[in-house]
Amino acid sequence: MRLVPSWALLSSGCAPVALIAGWTIAALLEGPAYDPATQTISVLAAYGAAGSWVMTGALAALGVCHVVTAWGLRPAALPGRVALGAGGVAACAVALIPPPSSGGSLRHGSVAAVGFALLAVWPVLAADRSGAAPWGLRPAPSFAATGLMVSGAAWFMLEMHQGGAVGAAERLVTAIQSLWPFVVVASCLRPPRQESGRPT
């Protein structure tokens, strides 16, 4: 018997594909004026951007994928599933609140920050400390994933302050966040290990 339904593998696998395809196509539509290394993904979704409809659709698809995955990820601890699903809702909200064509947006930035925080902590909240837990839900990989996401966020904040490779840092951390649910679901497809031993 499978620990997770097959459609959870599909939804989790579609999440990074939708995100990366979205920012790639939107950047192509924006043309050479857009620099993916120094400009954020939000620029692609801003009002008036040539590829805003693509990036907005990609963010919405990402959010829906996370919600569906959270629903099907039964072996994960409930707080982690809730955090993943809420992170997906936040991604949909980011799509519905695009930034202006110039300048910042407190609403957009706040929702994006909440979404990032939820997607960063969900691996730790979902961890299962029992010995038979699937690999992706064990404490060590879960804490490592959250640590990697937080480190990526620290790099992003540093680049924001210095005005450097903001886009590269953002793409790294968001790619990791979109890919980790797939890693966890894939690890759950293997049957749980049976405790060995003879009856006494």
Residue 118 · residue 79 · CB < 8 Å: no
Q: What is the pLDDT, as a whole number, of residue 75? A: 93
Q: What is the pLDDT, as a whole number, of residue 160? A: 84
Q: What is the pLDDT, as a whole number, of residue 63? A: 97
Q: What is the pLDDT, as a whole number, of residue 197? A: 43
Q: What is the pLDDT, as a whole number, of residue 198? A: 43
C-alpha dihedral, 66 to 76 to 175 to 64, nearest 10° = 0
Q: Considering the entire predicted model, what is its pTM?
A: 0.90
Query: Each residue's pLDDT tens digit in the chain (200 positions)?
Result: 468 999 999 999 999 999 999 999 999 999 999 999 999 998 999 888 899 999 999 999 999 999 999 999 999 999 999 999 999 999 999 999 988 767 667 888 899 999 999 999 999 999 988 777 899 999 999 999 999 999 999 999 999 888 789 999 999 999 999 999 999 999 998 765 554 444 43
Residue 126 · residue 73 · CB < 8 Å: yes
Structure tokens at 68: 């569906």
Sign of CA pseudo-dihedral 17, 135, 191, 76: negative
Q: At what angle do helices 166-188 and 106-126 cross, to 10 degrees?
A: 30
Residue 85 · residue 70 · CB < 8 Å: yes
Q: What is the pLDDT, as a whole number, of residue 82? A: 98
Instruction: Of 130, 154, 134, 167, give the one whose Cα is nearest residue 27.
Output: 167
Give dist(CA 30, CA 20) in Å, integer. Answer: 15
Q: What is the pLDDT, as a whole number, of residue 192? A: 54
Give dist(CA 60, CA 200) in Å, integer. Answer: 55
Q: What is the pLDDT, as a whole number, of residue 193? A: 54
